[in-house]
């Protein structure tokens, strides 16, 4: 009798183990459709969050992308993730002038903030990529950054305990490839929307007390004398999403867009970044030449190089300089800092899921 009980128990345990193993091997593909919620006024100005036809948003895809964004296995020596150079507290920017790669090398351009990037048309400072999926691809194989090879990344993820199931739940296949990795990361990055700054509360939500008088004065300068909104449109995105030469140098050392197109007419042109959360994304410009907003405002006030090649058509409006007074500079900077969305830079939905 005792022997029969042991045999029966063993069979039952085996069946349970088999069922668990089968469940792990054959997870249910039942993705949950997801949307990125934004305020109605955003939709009025720039429409819904753009979603590619071949990368529909799902809860599973977003969560997988979030996990991959913080995954250090993407780098050659497993010490670096996307988040290593795109830190949430800095609006997914890097506070260092240039990001350090896995082997101690430094890039030659400042990392860009990832804020409302779903609406962008160009990615990287030189605009060489046209989608978030394309943007997510390059750093992994860049020899200065993550210095890895995509086949190695795929091998690591495929051999992991959890990723095959996560990819199945997100995309309906446990076979991982670089396309699915970048699609997942792009889904997560499309959720990084920021529209809850003090300025939003004042201008779009009608809270007259959300800005100080100094900040309100700065807003009037932004849209008036300082002409900042020529390129940084007050269309909720605070960028026209174009690539332009803003007159930094008479003889640009970095060719900018020209490096990608080979067209001399593109020399010195760089992506116009959003000004949202600009107060936490120092240093500034593609080469991090300005450490503070004060330096940025000084430049636009009186130091734009009018004979810079391919100078944007809006820049000549500055003539010999708009020459802001010290009080005006202080007011303008106060307004720029009112574009900081504290909820965005602390939102736990965007943080490392492993913490």
Q: Which CATH number is 121's domain given?
A: 1.10.760.10
52 located within any domain:
yes
Number of domains, the chain = 2
Q: Which residues, other chains included, contact 19 with Cβ-Cβ below 8 Å and sequence gap of 6+?
A: none
**pLDDT per position in the chain (355 positions), as tens?**
444 444 444 444 444 443 444 444 556 899 999 999 999 999 999 999 999 999 999 999 999 999 999 999 999 999 999 999 999 999 999 999 999 999 999 999 999 999 999 999 999 999 999 999 999 999 999 999 999 999 999 999 999 999 999 999 999 999 999 999 999 999 999 999 999 999 999 999 999 999 999 999 999 999 999 999 999 999 999 999 999 999 999 999 999 999 999 999 999 999 999 999 999 999 999 999 999 999 999 999 999 999 999 999 988 677 778 999 999 999 999 999 999 999 999 999 999 999 8
264 located within any domain:
yes
pTM of the model: 0.91
256 located within any domain:
yes
Of 160, 176, 193, the residue at which a domain comes to its end is 193
11 located within any domain:
no
Residues 172 and 215 in one domain: no
Residues 172 and 274 in one domain: no
Of 161, 193, 225, the residue at which a domain comes to its end is 193
- Count of beta carbons in the 10 Å neighbourhood of residue 63: 20
In contact, 181 and 168? CB cutoff 8 Å: no
Give the angle subtended at the CA of 233 by the CAs of 232 and 234, to the nearest 5°.
Answer: 120
Residue with the two structure tokens 């939003």: 200
Distance CA 177, CA 159 (A): 12
Residues 76 and 40 in one domain: yes
Say what the pLDDT of residue 23 is: 42
Residues 55 and 176 in one domain: yes
Q: At what angle do helices 293-302 and 326-337 cross, to 10 degrees?
A: 130
In contact, 205 and 195? CB cutoff 8 Å: no
Residues 233 and 322 in one domain: yes
344 located within any domain:
no
For residue 45, give its domain range. 21-193
Residues 164 and 247 in one domain: no
Residues 225 and 288 in one domain: yes
Residues 124 and 246 in one domain: no
Of 167, 193, 219, the residue at which a domain comes to its end is 193
Residues 226 and 246 in one domain: yes
Say what the pLDDT of residue 2 is: 46
Residues 292 and 310 in one domain: yes
Residues 269 and 319 in one domain: yes
12 located within any domain:
no
342 located within any domain:
no
Residues 171 and 259 in one domain: no
**Omega before 283 cis (within 30°)?**
yes
Which two tokens mark 265? 């007419």
49 located within any domain:
yes
Say what the pLDDT of residue 315 is: 84
């Amino acid at each position: 009798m005792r022997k029969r009980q042991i045999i029966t128990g063993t069979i039952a345990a085996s069946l349970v183990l088999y069922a668990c193993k089968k469940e792990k091997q054959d997870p249910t593909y039942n993705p949950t459709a997801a949307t990125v919620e934004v305020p109605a006024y955003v939709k009025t100005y720039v429409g819904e969050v753009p979603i590619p036809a071949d990368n529909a948003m799902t809860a599973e895809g977003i969560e997988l992308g979030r996990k991959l964004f913080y995954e250090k296995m993407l780098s050659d020596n497993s010490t670096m993730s996307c988040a290593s150079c795109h830190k949430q507290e800095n609006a997914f920017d890097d506070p260092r002038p240039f990001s350090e790669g896995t082997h101690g090398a430094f890039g030659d351009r400042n990392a860009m903030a990832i804020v409302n990037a779903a609406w962008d048309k160009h990615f990287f400072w030189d605009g060489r990529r046209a989608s978030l999926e394309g943007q997510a691809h390059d750093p992994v194989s860049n020899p200065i950054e993550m210095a890895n090879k995509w086949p190695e990344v795929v091998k690591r993820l495929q051999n992991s305990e959890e990723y095959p199931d996560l990819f199945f739940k997100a995309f309906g296949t446990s076979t991982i490839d670089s396309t699915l990795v970048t699609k997942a990361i792009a889904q997560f990055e499309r959720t990084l929307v920021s529209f809850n700054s003090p300025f939003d509360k004042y201008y779009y939500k009608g809270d007259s007390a959300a800005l100080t008088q100094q900040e309100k004065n700065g807003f009037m300068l932004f849209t008036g004398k300082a002409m900042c909104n020529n390129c940084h449109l007050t269309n909720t995105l605070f960028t026209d999403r174009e690539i332009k030469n803003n007159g930094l140098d008479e003889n640009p050392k970095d060719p900018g867009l020209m490096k990608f197109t080979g067209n001399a007419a593109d020399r010195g042109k760089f992506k116009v970044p959003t000004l949202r959360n600009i107060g936490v994304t120092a240093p500034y410009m593609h080469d991090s030449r300005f450490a503070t907003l004060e330096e940025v405002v000084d430049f636009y006030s009186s130091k734009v190089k009018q004979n810079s090649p391919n100078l944007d058509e809006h820049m000549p409006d500055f003539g010999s300089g708009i020459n802001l007074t010290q009080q005006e500079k202080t007011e303008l900077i106060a307004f720029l800092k009112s574009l900081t969305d504290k909820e965005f830079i602390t939102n736990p939905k965007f943080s490392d899921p492993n913490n």
